[in-house]
């Protein structure tokens, strides 16, 4: 059975220091708030639809990568004396030790992965077992920190790696052992799971674009290793839109320019959500892009090599009825500005016996960041 969790109405804040929607995210000031209407749908989904007059989806602007989001704008403001805390060196000094909750470095396949871990190793042998969380581009495993902490309290053993090229993991130069292809990501994930001694079957949670999609294609190649699969706001059909960021990255010269935007990740998160990131969170998402050019060029190489439509079509076909019978929970943030709710509904209709759809009000493209408490409730109910 699928269902939706209610959310309180958004309020218009007078500042960004007094969140009124939830303690983890701050609502964006808006001039109008879309009305929603609810209807019960027979079957497995409680559907919450936005107004049909919704025209807030941003159009593609190849030169519009400079953000006007409040957290990003404040991050790049220069003080009256540029040598003070507004320059990159001082920003790095301020945030260098942030964002590594529950994490350590693991050597696997010739690369150094940054892997977050919560829960005791004994938990993997218990009733709850192991959960592996995979993030999407252009973010990192930091987005799962709250979910992982509370899942460990519930008796689960959790891992969340930063994919190669992302977050705090290695970012090898293409041509030197890693070229950011789907095949290589699958191979390196296999090796990492072996090093972490993740025993099959385990629960897999996947969210996001590009490397998030690779997490799902890996699952299609390893169905016997998965006991439960949770999908959050990931391209699931061939009709899934491609965000402007990835379109920009695939344009010659503009891609090289865009990938070095130090506030790219936080802007992508904010643009896909109803909320503005608090500065301390935005600091962590921008940190890899401030430290070196490596993360940007890694993302650029991965974006050039991915076949977005082909991969999404492969996912739709692979998880269709008759081809996949392991239980799937699609936990979908319905305020996602990149992927409409119809994507999740279409995916569920293709395999209604295996797929349960849970709609999460108040959450956008990254439910684990926007409203982790609701994600935790969904996971504990399903896994």
The predicted pLDDT at position 206 comes to 98
The β-bridge relationship of strands 130-134 and 157-161 is parallel
Q: How far does Cα 276 stand from its chain's mean position? A: 16
Residue 275 three-state SS: strand
Per-residue pLDDT, 98:
84
What residues form DSSP beta bridges with 358? 331
Residue with tokens 């890693």: 178
What's the confidence (pLDDT) of residue 122?
Answer: 77
Report the Cα 53 to chain-centroid distance in Å.
27
The whole-angstrom separation of Cα 185 and Cα 183 is 5
The span from the CA of 173 to the CA of 245, in Å, is 21
- Residue pair 209/202 in contact (Cβ under 8 Å)? The answer is no
Residues with Cβ within 8 Å of residue 36, at least 6 apart in sequence: 48, 49, 50, 51, 361
How many C-beta atoms lie closer than 10 Å to residue 320's C-beta? Answer: 15
Report whether 332 contacts 362 (CB < 8 A).
no
Q: Could you tell me the two tokens for 52?
A: 């049909």
Q: What is the pLDDT of residue 176?
A: 86
Burial of 221 (0-12, 13-18, 19+ CB in 10 A): exposed
The closest of 129, 155, 114 to 226, measured between CA atoms, is: 129
Q: State the Cα–Cα distance between residues 34 and 49, nearest whole angstrom.
A: 11
In this predicted structure, what is the pLDDT of residue 87? 60
Q: What is the pLDDT of residue 44?
A: 46
**Residue spans of the chain under pLDDT 50:** 1, 3-4, 6-68, 73, 76-85
**What span, in angstroms and rounded, lies between the C-alpha atoms of 383 and 380?**
6
Instruction: Give the whole-angstrom CA distance, residue 168 versus residue 187.
Output: 19
| DSSP for residue 76 | T
Ramachandran assignment for 163, one of left (phi > 0), alpha (psi -120 to 50 degrees), beta (any other): beta
Query: Do residues 264 and 297 lie in contact, with contact meaning Cβ atoms separated by under 8 Å?
Result: no
Residue 203 contacts residue 131 (beta carbons within 8 Å): yes
- Distances in Å between the Cα of 125 and the Cα atoms of 131, 192, 230, 260, 270 are 12, 19, 20, 44, 38
Helices and strands in the chain: count of H runs, count of E runs? 14, 13
Distance, CA of 347 to CA of 339 (rounded, Å): 12
Residue 290 burial (CB count, 10 A):
17
The model's pTM is 0.79
Q: Which of 56, 52, 8 is nearest to 31 (CA)?
A: 56
Dist. CA 335–CA 339, nearest whole Å: 9
Contact 152, 380 (CB under 8 A): no
pLDDT score of 231 = 98
Bridging pattern class, strands 157-161 and 111-118 = antiparallel
């Amino acid at each position: 059975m699928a269902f939706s969790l209610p959310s309180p109405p958004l309020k218009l804040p007078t500042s960004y220091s007094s969140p009124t929607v939830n303690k983890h995210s701050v609502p964006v000031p808006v001039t109008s708030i879309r009305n929603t209407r609810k209807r019960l749908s027979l079957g497995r989904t409680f559907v919450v639809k936005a107004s049909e007059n919704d025209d807030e989806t941003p159009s593609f602007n190849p030169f519009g990568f400079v953000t006007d989001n409040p957290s990003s704008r404040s991050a790049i403001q220069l003080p009256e004396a540029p040598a003070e805390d507004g320059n990159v060196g001082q920003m790095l000094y301020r945030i260098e030790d942030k964002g590594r909750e529950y994490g350590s470095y693991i050597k696997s396949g010739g690369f150094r992965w940054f892997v977050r871990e919560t829960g005791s190793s004994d938990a993997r042998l218990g009733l709850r077992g192991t959960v592996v969380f995979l993030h999407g581009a252009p973010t990192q495993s930091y987005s799962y920190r709250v979910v992982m902490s509370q899942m460990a309290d519930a008796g689960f053993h959790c891992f969340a790696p930063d994919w190669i090229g992302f977050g705090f993991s290695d970012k090898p130069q293409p041509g030197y052992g890693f070229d950011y292809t789907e095949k290589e990501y699958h191979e390196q994930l296999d090796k990492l799971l072996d090093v972490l001694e993740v025993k099959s079957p385990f629960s897999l949670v996947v969210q996001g674009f590009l490397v998030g999609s690779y997490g799902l294609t890996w699952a299609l190649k390893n169905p016997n290793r998965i006991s439960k699969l949770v999908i959050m706001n990931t391209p699931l059909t061939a009709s899934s839109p491609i965000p402007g960021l990835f379109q920009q990255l695939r344009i010659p010269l503009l891609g090289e320019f865009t990938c070095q935007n130090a506030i790219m990740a936080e802007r992508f998160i904010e643009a896909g959500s109803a909320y503005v990131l608090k500065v301390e969170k935005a600091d962590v998402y921008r940190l890899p892009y401030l430290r070196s050019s490596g993360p940007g060029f890694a993302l650029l190489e991965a974006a050039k090599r991915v076949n977005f439509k082909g991969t999404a079509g492969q996912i739709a076909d692979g998880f269709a009825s008759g081809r996949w019978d392991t239980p799937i929970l699609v936990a979908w943030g319905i305020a996602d500005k990149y992927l409409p709710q119809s994507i999740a509904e279409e995916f569920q209709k293709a395999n209604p016996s295996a797929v349960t759809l849970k709609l999460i009000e108040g959450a956008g493209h990254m439910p684990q960041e926007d409203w982790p408490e609701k994600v935790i409730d969904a996971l504990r109910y399903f896994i």
